Amino acid sequence: MNISEIKQAIEQGRTALGIEMGSTRIKAVLIGPDHAPIASGDHAWENKLENGVWTYSLDDVWTGVRSAYAHMAADVREKYDLPLTNVGALGFSGMMHGYLAFDAEGNQLVPFRTWRNTITEEAAAKLTEQFGFNVPQRWSVAHLYQAMLKKEPHVPQLAFLTTLAGYVHWQLTGKKVLGVGEASGMFPIDSETNDYDARMVSLFDENLKAAGLPFTLREVFPAVLCAGEDAGMLTAEGAALLDPTGTLHPGIPMCPPEGDAGTGMTATNSVAPRTGNVSAGTSIFSMVVLEKALSRVYPEIDMVTTPTGKPVAMVHCNTCTSDLDAWVKLFSELLTAAGTSISKPALYDLLYYCALESEPDAGGVVSYNYYSGEPVSQTEEGRPLMMRLPDSAFTLANFMRAQLYATMATLKLGMELLEQENVQVDTLYGHGGLFKTKGVGQRLMAGAMNMPVAVMETAGEGGPWGMALLAAYRTNKAEGESLEDYLNTHVFAGAKGDRMLPMAEDVAGFADYMVRYKAGLAAERAAAAVQ
């Protein structure tokens, strides 16, 4: 689209806006009728460890959401000389899972407990046994049950429990709803009904009754919607919350709020069976859409859904690039101390490309990037740790390959279980910061997972763009048009990208690295036991 066409689309409200609240950045992406981004804005933020709980304050949530929106609106004015008074559709996504609890008056009962917390081990284990279904520690129902087991005084006052995206959507629309993909990170979903699993709801209601609590699960959990369904409209109060300048008009159709997993699937066109994607940033997770159910329960694999309710095997790891980023920052400080400078993107590129000059197995260097516990590797707490054999070739190239391998090693532990189940993936689509340096993260991921990895030209847009696509689907879909058909026909037809096959030397090298990695996990666990 040319500038004139874009301006006309903005004036006529033929746009869609997605805003995603990630773990380190809140980003807003506005797309035009052709689904290409036309404006964006973002806001950096960080979680805080308070009283042993990883959290964000609600004040920080609204500061960040307004800032990201304001920067996007300013981008519209700068590029097109127009105020942003309306958009055709709007949707919010965010970090999945966690615990945002409110009383009947809408008062927050306890600080937000994010996905990053591994404080619900007892509850998760008991629910997994009771349901015959893997309930990970970060799921909302695990947080609720753990609070019940500890007899936390706020629990009897609970009137509404939701996720970050669900909370913002509620404040903007008055609707207590979630998209099915996001809801599948709160409580198990039945893909036949696209709702909370009725058998398991009944079982949990027995737990609530035994605890003497005055509510059922459905009374305090959000209602579940599929992609494309009506999730309400932006109210006047909501418009003022999002844009305090009063420029944005209310009445905008809202799509169901989704999680970052669902937007990642949408942004990579990985919503049909035999498709998969891997999101690699602060955390790393793979999503594989299944053709059939797994043969048994795996504690290392979460069963969630696509935004339309199809079953998805999810391997989620809490840490991906955080430790690598810390090392890059250290190298930057060294360069500054030496009186030289290099831009941050250039430094990342230099170090990433250096990793391709290393020995395929990283020369005996092994890194554990754990900033927090990793349930996939049965590690309760995190201690970033680097080890090497005494006779290792301790070169910068080997060091950097070990750092990159560390970002995907825990993911591999979970993916090995899907290999045992003979789950087929035609192509794994990569997105997130790990893939920004062209050809490096993609090549090493292909070798690590031993499957083709594709990075689309649109991959850099990520979750906020995926959320904007779900918003567009809400208002633009034809009668009976599935999300898969909509994406294939209107968004990804003719899309460009690079597909890279695994290289034999990388497959063998990563396999050797994993032998040492698995053997050294005992040292990581021992380190975590030291306070």
CA atoms of 164 and 380, how far apart (whole Å): 25
Q: In the CATH scheme, what is the code of domain 260-319+415-500?
A: 3.30.420.40
- pLDDT grade for 531, boundaries at 50, 70 and 90: low
How many helices and strands in the chain, by DSSP H and E?
Answer: 17, 22
Mean pLDDT of 368-393: 92
CA distance 190 to 197: 5
The string of DSSP letters for 211-229 reads TT-S--HHHHSPEEE-TTS
Q: What is the mean pLDDT of residues 514-524?
A: 96
State the Cα–Cα distance between residues 120 and 139, nearest whole angstrom: 9
Instruction: Give the Cα separation of 420 and 296 in Å (integer).
Output: 11
- Are 377 and 413 in contact by the 8 Å Cβ rule? The answer is yes
- How confident is the model over 463-501, as pLDDT tens digits? 899 999 999 999 999 999 999 999 999 999 877 778 999
Q: With cut-offs at 50, 70 and 90, classify the pLDDT of residue 458.
A: low
Q: Is the pLDDT of residue 96 over 80?
A: yes
- Region 34-49: mean pLDDT is 95
Average pLDDT over residues 357-366: 97
Measured N-to-C along each axis, helices 396-420 and 440-449 cross at an angle, to the nearest 10 degrees, of 40
Which part of the chain is CATH 3.30.420.40?
Answer: 3-258, 260-319+415-500
Q: Is the pLDDT of residue 118 over 70?
A: yes
Which CATH class name applies to 3-258?
alpha beta
Condensed to tens digits (0 to 9), the pLDDT of residues 399-446 reads: 999 999 999 999 999 999 999 999 999 889 998 889 989 999 999 999
pLDDT for residue 245: 97
Q: What is the mean pLDDT of residues 53-62?
A: 96
Q: For the sheet with 25-31, list strands across it.
A: 37-44, 25-31, 16-21, 90-94, 258-259
Q: Which pairs with CB-CB distance under 8 Å and at least 24 residues apart come from 40-44?
A: 40/71, 40/72, 40/75, 40/464, 41/67, 41/68, 41/69, 41/70, 41/71, 41/72, 41/73, 41/74, 41/75, 42/68, 42/71, 43/67, 43/68, 43/71
Q: At what angle do helices 3-12 and 58-80 cross, to 10 degrees?
A: 130
Q: Across the chain, what does the average pLDDT equal?
A: 94
- Give the CA distances from residue 259 to residues 4, 116, 165, 239, 296, in Å, rounded to whole numbers and listed in that order: 34, 15, 7, 22, 25
Question: For residue 75, is pLDDT > 70?
Answer: yes
- Please tell me the predicted confidence (pLDDT) of residue 28: 97
Has this prediction a pTM greater than 0.75? Answer: yes
